[in-house]
Amino acid sequence: MPKAQVEFTELRDDWYRGAEVMARLIAQSSLGAPMLVGFPAQWAPVFEHFGAIWSDPIPPPAYVPMVSDLEPAVFAAAIEGARRQGRLRQLVEGIAVFDPLVADVLHRLDRRPEMQGREQGAYIPLSGWQSYGRPELLAFAERVETTAFQSSTTAILLPCARRRPYRGSKTHKRLHAGLRKCASRTPTRS
């Protein structure tokens, strides 16, 4: 039977820093137990995003930009504001930039099937490398790999465009015009 709660002070430092214990605790807590008590405040957005049960955050043991600078009530309001705006994941990724352990745990949780399906929507901001581990992006990459087919030995990578849709981008228009021009000069095989 799982413990009703796990106190941060109960964790050995090597277990905590190994990331797998934190990923497992968050996954278990999101299913109803245990409650995670007294963990450093930078974990609060992660706990909220994944639906873990938690209470009584403590200040980060080492300085974490933004988290260490905000009063607990202000940070809690920022988390709630991010949730209301549908940007909790973005806040989690922002915290992961400041704390490599949070980044490692986020990477592990994103690859757990039972943790997928949280706060997904049509809009997926790519704010850093942590964004590329999102389950919905991993699923997209898999769909591309399984449905794409090779019809040529040449591949062209087009840069992102500031203007959307891409057909309205001056850069993309120039690239497509150049490709059409090259295609018209290429002899066809019989």
Domain boundaries, the chain: 5-147, 155-190
The arithmetic mean of pLDDT across residues 131-149, rounded, is 73
Confidence of residue 114 (pLDDT cuts 50, 70, 90): confident
pLDDT score recorded for residue 131? 66
Name the pLDDT band for 183 (thresholds 50, 70, 90). Answer: confident
Confidence of residue 40 (pLDDT cuts 50, 70, 90): very high
* Rounded CA separation 47/12 (Å): 20
Question: Mean pLDDT over all residues of the chain?
Answer: 84
Provide the pLDDT confidence category of residue 117 given band limits of 50, 70 and 90. low
141, pLDDT greater than 90: no
Residue 174 has pLDDT above 80, yes or no: yes
Calculate ∠ Cα 57-132-122, nearest 5°: 90
Confidence of residue 132 (pLDDT cuts 50, 70, 90): low
Look-up of token digits 């990578």: 157
- According to the model, what pLDDT value does residue 122 have? 54
Report whether pLDDT(187) > 70: no
- Tell how far CA 31 is from the center of its chain: 20
Q: What is the pLDDT of residue 106?
A: 92
* More confident: 118 or 26: 26
Instruction: Please determine, for residue 126, whether its predicted confidence score (pLDDT) is greater than 70.
Output: no
Tell me, letter by letter, the H, E, C secondary structure of the chain: CCCCEEEHHHCCHHHHHCCHHHHHHHHHHHCCCCEEECCEHHHHHHHHHHCCCEECCECCCCCCCCCCCCCHHHHHHHHHHHHHCCCHHHHHHHHHHHCHHHHHHHHHHHCCHHHCCCCCCCCCCCCCHHHHHCHHHHHHHHHHHHHCCCCCCCCCCCCCCCCCCHHHCHHHHHHHHHHHHHHHHCCCCC
89 vs 58, which has greater pLDDT? Answer: 58
Full-model pTM: 0.69
Strands 54-55 and 35-37: parallel
